[in-house]
Amino acid sequence: MIENSFHYIAILIMIIGSVVWIEKKYPLKIFHILPSIVIVYALVMLIATLGVWSKSENIENTYNTFKDALLPAMIFLMLLNADMRSIAKLGKKMIFTFLLATLSIMLGFILSFSIFHNLLSNDAWMGFAALCGSWIGGTGNMMAIAGALNVPSDIMGNILITDSINYTLWVMLLLSLVPFGHKFNTWSNADTSIIDDVAKKLNTNIQNEEISTASILFLLGLSFFVNISSDIISSYLPTTKFLSHYTWIVLLSTFFGVMGAMTPVSKVAGSNIISSMMLYLLVALMASRADFSQMSQAPIFIIAGFTVLLVHFICMIIFAKIFKLDLFSLGVSSLANIGGVASAPILASAYSKALVPIGVIMALMGYILGTAGGLGVGIILEAIAK
């Protein structure tokens, strides 16, 4: 049984590195069904269930130290590409459609949790808040909320499985609807000329510098400085049961990330790589405290997740008819929320390669809104759970 802190972290990094390397070197079919980050979680959770490392005070302190150091830094780096000036180029109708998708997802979580909360544990609302953050923004937002609310590890295991299964089927559905775009637009009386205009205005946010040792060290140092600054500032802010000291740190890091995206710092290459590494390690750290025997509620979580998507789907159809929205805007707005940067551009390209930037920038909007949106829904879910 491992009790040494360095050995504990080293094994987690080795598992992460092995899974990511295999995915890159050998693109097996399993990676199309289960993303590598879910596989990392499952493997680490299996090892934790087998008792490879002890749950001693030393290991617990190591977990808390790494989590508290990495999470705010990751949020800051993740948001450096989310430039509000680029988002403004989307135009009012595209932004409006995206916000409608976001609100319908939030409504879906509230209604779904209202139906299923009596079948779940008392702390399940925290997991649904984290999943809401993911389905507005991405996995980084999920980890931010999980850290801010201190979501139990067994609930996070259920949430990650729910996220993976529901997300995969949702992507398949939206891609299968692409050929019906013209018929749908005729039914909704949508005007698609605005999409062509937006596509011409947009340009992708390309970093000017090459990744180097200097850029990596600079961004790493800056991200940890943001963590320290957020910690100091949050110590002067009022706390409540929901807005804890650490929640303020997460929100301040989000704010600094959004502000940093409008400065030359956003052009320094390497933020995506560093934030991805931090995300994998955070997921592995959470999994290291989980246990397979505690995941008996996974089917209920999955059904509840489908219910969220059903509410979202119905709302978007209604919005399409009322506001005369086209299928492209609806689909990309939906997947920019639920799938993020990894999948929204894929759906956009299924309509036209020229529309890929719209998918990218919409997904970045989700990164900005995801943490605050998920925490806001969490407040409502906690009230429902009582």
What is the gyration radius of the CA atoms in the chain, in angstroms? Answer: 20
- Burial label for 52, CB within 10 Å (0-12, 13-18, 19+), is middle
Mean pLDDT for the stretch of residues 185-202: 78
Asked if the structure places residue 135 within a domain, the reply is yes
- Whether residue 193 is predicted with pLDDT greater than 80 in this model: the reply is no
Asked if the structure places residue 68 within a domain, the reply is no
pLDDT at 382: 93
> What's the predicted TM-score (pTM) here?
0.80
- Kindly state the helix (H) or strand (E) to which residue 228 belongs, with its residue range: helix 213-234
- Whether residue 121 is predicted with pLDDT greater than 90 in this model: the reply is no
Domain of residue 117: give its range: 82-270+291-385
- Whether residue 234 is predicted with pLDDT greater than 50 in this model: the reply is yes
Q: By percentage, how much of the chain surpasses pLDDT 90?
A: 38
Tally of domains in the chain: 1
| DSSP assignments along 153-205, one per residue | HHHHHHHHHHHHHHHHHHHHHHHHTGGGHHHHHHHHT---HHHHHHHHH----
Q: What is the mean pLDDT of the chain?
A: 86
Asked if the structure places residue 375 within a domain, the reply is yes
Lowest mean pLDDT among 129-133, 262-266, 346-350, 355-359: 355-359
- Whether residue 294 is predicted with pLDDT greater than 70 in this model: the reply is no
- 191 confidence band (pLDDT: 50, 70, 90): confident
Mean pLDDT for the stretch of residues 302-307: 94
Which long-range contacts does 191-197 make (Cβ < 8 Å, 24+ apart)? 191/324, 191/326, 192/326, 192/328, 194/91, 194/93, 194/94, 195/94, 195/326, 195/328, 195/329, 195/355, 195/358, 197/91
CB within 8 A of 56, min separation 6: which ones?
3
- In terms of average pLDDT, the best of 60-64, 95-99, 104-108, 179-183 is 104-108
pLDDT at 209: 67
- Burial label for 320, CB within 10 Å (0-12, 13-18, 19+), is buried
Asked if the structure places residue 92 within a domain, the reply is yes
Asked if the structure places residue 106 within a domain, the reply is yes
- 239 confidence band (pLDDT: 50, 70, 90): confident
- 293 confidence band (pLDDT: 50, 70, 90): low
Lowest mean pLDDT among 220-224, 283-287, 341-345: 341-345
Asked if the structure places residue 99 within a domain, the reply is yes
Asked if the structure places residue 211 within a domain, the reply is yes
- 319 confidence band (pLDDT: 50, 70, 90): very high
Who has greater pLDDT, 316 or 358? Answer: 316
Asked if the structure places residue 95 within a domain, the reply is yes
pLDDT at 135: 95
Who has greater pLDDT, 116 or 243? Answer: 116
pLDDT at 87: 75
pLDDT at 206: 47
Mean pLDDT for the stretch of residues 34-52: 83
